[in-house]
């Protein structure tokens, strides 16, 4: 293919990637090393009590933001180096907890608490998604032709639902006097408050993620099962291989590239968990790294946003995703070089 033709095909995609991916990332990286604050000045402010004869006036020196001619608050931007990262990581609190032997206090720091939940959420749900998706794919592949259509339709419904709507649906099933909670209370003969503690909320969030994402894995694996060599499977049956042995030595090696693909997609998506925090209203009990970045961008009582710390949190989140993807990407690279 000529370079001009190649450039015409690839050029628009490269331009859009630079504009909407590379440029924002560079901007966030730069902002993580900067702090923008309002310019303040000190001035005397006179305050008088009501009345005429008994009026008393006091003069105080207050710090107020400086305004421009249009009435807008003036700001200044200065470089702070790694200070924003140190604040997000809570390095001072970490050193104090480490020196005093209170290692459990480290998980009370917002970033490390969010990292703990994010890693647990990602690592726990990954094998459940892979296993459930593969189980559904095997069941549909071996089902009667008349049943395949309805099973596929029902299995895909959770994946079609918008994530926030899906998480809210699960939330209302279990919160308060939800349908499932009422059944459990009648069965166990005791009152339940599943959203009163963090560990039950985490379990429900794990359940929702598997319920929502397993259909995606099912579609990928079901497509891969259609390409399995039937002669190899028949040979394994003749040799006396059991169902588990056929699955382990024939099917899984054949669809391993698809397993790696689903793993990569799941790791990237689950590490950015956010919808579950919103849908389950779980921010009082658990936080994710993505929620932490969002929370830092919320204005405080004075209307200021911690943009520098939010940028540092976003960069740390991206670094975490890259670290998680190293192993599956190395496996993919070895398979590619091997061919």
DSSP string, 258-312: HHHHHHHHHHHHHTT--HHHHHTT-TTT---HHHHHHHHTS--TTS---HHHHHH
Contact of 307 with 297, CB cutoff 8 Å: yes
pLDDT at 262: 93
pLDDT at 221 over 60: yes
Q: Which helix (H) or strand (E) holds 150?
A: helix 145-160
Mean pLDDT of 76-105: 86
> How far is Cα of residue 240 from the mean position of the Cα atoms in its chain?
45
Question: Which of 84-88, 132-136, 231-235, 334-338 is least confident?
Answer: 334-338
Q: Note the pLDDT tens digit of each residue in 172-184.
A: 888 877 888 888 8
Please tell me the predicted confidence (pLDDT) of residue 333.
82
pLDDT value, residue 125: 94
Q: Tens of pLDDT along 89-102?
A: 988 888 888 888 88
Confidence of residue 240 (pLDDT cuts 50, 70, 90): confident
Confidence of residue 155 (pLDDT cuts 50, 70, 90): confident
pLDDT value of residue 119: 93
Mean predicted confidence (pLDDT) in 111-128: 93
pLDDT: which is higher, 339 or 95: 95
Inform me whether the pLDDT recorded for 259 exceeds 90.
yes
Domain 111-338 sits in CATH 1.10.3720.10: yes
Confidence at residue 122, expressed as pLDDT on a 0 to 100 scale: 93
Q: Which structure tokens are listed for 303?
A: 């209307």
Please indicate, yes or no, whether the overall pTM of this predicted structure exceeds 0.95.
no
State the pLDDT confidence band at 123, using cuts at 50, 70 and 90.
very high
Instruction: Provide the β-strand partners of residue 235.
Output: none
Distance of CA 160 to the CA centre of its chain: 19
**Cα–Cα distances in angstroms (integers) from residue 307 to residues 73, 158, 192, 199, in the given order:** 17, 35, 40, 31
Query: Looking at the predicted structure, is the pLDDT value of residue 2 above 90?
Result: no
The rounded mean pLDDT for the chain is 86
Does the structure show a pLDDT above 90 at 217?
Answer: yes
The answer to whether residue 49 scores a pLDDT higher than 80 is no
How far is the C-alpha of 97 from the C-alpha of 307, rounded, in Å?
A: 27
The share of the chain scoring above pLDDT 90, in percent, equals: 24
């Amino acid at each position: 293919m000529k370079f001009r033709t190649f450039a015409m095909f690839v050029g628009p995609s490269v331009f859009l990637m630079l504009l909407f991916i590379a440029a924002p990332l560079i901007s966030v990286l730069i902002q993580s090393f900067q702090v923008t604050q309002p310019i303040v000045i000190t001035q005397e402010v006179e305050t008088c009590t009501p009345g005429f004869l008994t009026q008393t006036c006091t003069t105080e020196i207050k710090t107020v933001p400086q305004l421009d001619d249009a009435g807008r608050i003036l700001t200044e931007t200065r470089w702070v180096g790694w200070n924003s990262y140190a604040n997000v990581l809570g390095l001072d609190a970490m050193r104090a907890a480490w020196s005093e032997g209170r290692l459990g206090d480290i998980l009370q720091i917002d970033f490390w608490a969010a990292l703990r939940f994010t890693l647990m959420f990602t690592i726990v749900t990954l094998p459940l998604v892979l296993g459930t998706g593969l189980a559904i794919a095997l069941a549909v592949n071996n089902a009667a032709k008349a049943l395949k259509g309805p099973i596929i339709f029902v299995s895909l419904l959770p994946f079609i639902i918008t994530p926030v709507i899906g998480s809210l649906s699960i939330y209302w099933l279990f919160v308060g006097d939800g349908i499932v909670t009422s059944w459990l209370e009648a069965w166990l003969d005791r009152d339940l408050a599943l959203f009163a503690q963090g560990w039950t909320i985490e379990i429900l969030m794990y359940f929702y993620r598997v319920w929502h994402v397993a259909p995606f894995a099912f579609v990928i694996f079901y497509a891969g099962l259609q390409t399995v060599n039937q002669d190899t499977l028949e040979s394994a049956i003749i040799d006396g291989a059991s169902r588990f042995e056929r699955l382990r030595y024939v099917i899984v090696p054949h669809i391993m590239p698809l397993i790696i693909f689903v793993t990569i997609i799941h790791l990237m998506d689950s590490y950015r968990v956010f919808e579950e925090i919103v849908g389950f209203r779980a921010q009082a009990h658990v936080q994710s790294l993505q929620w932490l970045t969002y929370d830092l961008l919320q204005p405080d009582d004075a209307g200021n946003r911690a943009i520098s710390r939010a940028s540092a949190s976003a960069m740390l989140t991206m670094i975490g995703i890259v670290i998680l993807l190293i192993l599956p990407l190395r496996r993919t690279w070895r398979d590619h070089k091997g061919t």
